[in-house]
């Protein structure tokens, strides 16, 4: 099956405005309003905490818009209906820019949402039956990330030099003769009854009521992990005062504490203070 470079889930996207109606600075809202696109969990929750508790004191007028896929938050940012977004990691952003011709850039890492393997059939990923079917994300960087997670436990072995864009073609050894089913990331939690295991992005796992720390049978290590979610903007907007205010708040001690208390290890802050 040929995988897509990014998940084609435009029909699933929600342009749900969580705050005041209207669009971004290029679409009719007040010029000082920063319109930020995000997936619901954890990005939307982190941004809502900032809006409700920190933004006013920092002089930031924040509007949050939720999306249910990984494509539209970037296309909306490129087209100008968003001023920034929060939901993706650097490898995904780099791949999106290359494949879609966008010019989006990272501003600051906000938190790390570990990817996990989930199953309704086994409690140990090494106990998957011979020939078991494992569902993985169908976009380039998340599929590579999923395969690396499986390889970290010795379930498969990847070819030397396989990078963030690894695919099943890069598997050097597959002792359990696992079969891989490539699905759009949002569909992965719903696939658990139909496959033996699924490698699910953190936000979609939590959306489905799964706890990464309690329900995952294998969870990504945080050491040297390149997949922190970041605040992104169009090239040239990195020094927008509103963006800098949000970047400072995202890495503040208050947000660090909020993440630690709310997610209890299922999402990890990057702030050290």
Q: Chain centroid to CA 51: how far?
A: 21
pLDDT, tens digit (0-9, with 9 covering 90-100), for 24-83: 344 334 469 999 999 999 999 999 999 999 999 999 999 999 999 999 999 999 999 999
154 in the same domain as 95: no
Domain count across the chain: 2
Both 122 and 93 in a single domain? no
Number of residues that make up the chain: 273
CA dihedral in degrees (39, 41, 47, 50; nearest 10)? 180
CATH number at residue 14: 3.40.190.10
- The angle, 0 to 180 degrees and rounded to 10, between the axes of the packed helices 140-152 and 90-100 is 150
Mark which of 181, 201, 219 sits at the end of a domain.
219
Please tell me the predicted confidence (pLDDT) of residue 29. Answer: 44
Q: 257: phi > 0 → left, psi -120 to 50 → alpha, else beta; which?
A: alpha
CA 32 to chain centre: 27
Confidence at residue 270, expressed as pLDDT on a 0 to 100 scale:
87
Q: Which of 180, 199, 219 is the last residue of a domain?
A: 219
Helix ranges (H only) for the chain are 45-53, 55-58, 72-79, 90-100, 140-152, 202-207, 212-215, 241-250, 253-263
CA dist list (Å): 192 to 6, 8, 22, 210? 22, 21, 38, 11
Spans of the chain below 50 pLDDT: 1-30
User: Is 47 part of a structural domain of the chain?
Assistant: yes
3-state secondary structure of 221: coil
Which residue do the tokens 């706890």 mark?
211
Q: Is residue 107 part of a domain?
A: yes
pLDDT 10s digits, 162-175: 999 999 999 999 99
Residues with Cβ < 8 Å from 151, sequence gap 6 or more? 157, 158
pTM of the entire structure? 0.86
Residue-range definition of the domain harbouring residue 93: 10-113+227-269
Residue 272 has a pLDDT of 61
Identify whether 32 is part of a domain.
Answer: yes
Residue 5: per-residue pLDDT: 43
């Amino acid at each position: 099956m040929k995988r897509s470079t990014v998940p084609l889930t435009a029909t699933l996207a929600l342009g749900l405005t969580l705050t005041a109606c209207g669009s971004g600075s290029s679409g009719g809202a007040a010029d000082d309003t920063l319109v930020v696109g995000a997936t619901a969990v954890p990005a939307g929750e982190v941004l809502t905490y900032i809006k409700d508790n920190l933004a006013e004191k920092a002089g930031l007028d924040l509007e949050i818009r939720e999306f249910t896929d990984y494509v539209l938050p970037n296309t909306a940012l490129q087209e100008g209906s968003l001023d920034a977004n929060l939901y993706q990691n650097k490898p995904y952003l780099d791949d999106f820019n290359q494949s879609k011709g966008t010019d989006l850039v990272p501003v600051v890492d906000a938190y790390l949402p570990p990817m996990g393997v989930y199953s309704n059939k086994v409690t140990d990923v090494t106990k998957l039956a011979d020939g078991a079917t494992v569902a993985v994300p169908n976009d380039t960087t998340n599929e590579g990330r999923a395969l690396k997670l499986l390889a970290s436990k010795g379930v498969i072995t990847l070819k030397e030099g396989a990078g963030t864009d690894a695919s099943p073609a890069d598997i050097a050894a597959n002792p359990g003769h696992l079969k891989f089913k490539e699905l759009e990331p949002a569909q992965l939690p719903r696939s658990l009854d139909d496959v033996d295991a699924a490698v699910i992005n953190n936000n979609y796992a939590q959306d489905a009521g799964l706890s990464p720390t309690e329900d995952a049978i294998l969870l990504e290590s945080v050491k040297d992990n390149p997949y922190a979610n970041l605040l992104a903007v169009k090239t040239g907007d990195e020094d927008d005062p509103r963006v800098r205010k949000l970047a400072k708040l995202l890495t503040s001690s208050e947000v660090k504490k909020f993440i630690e208390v709310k997610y209890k290890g299922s999402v990890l802050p990057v702030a050290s203070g």
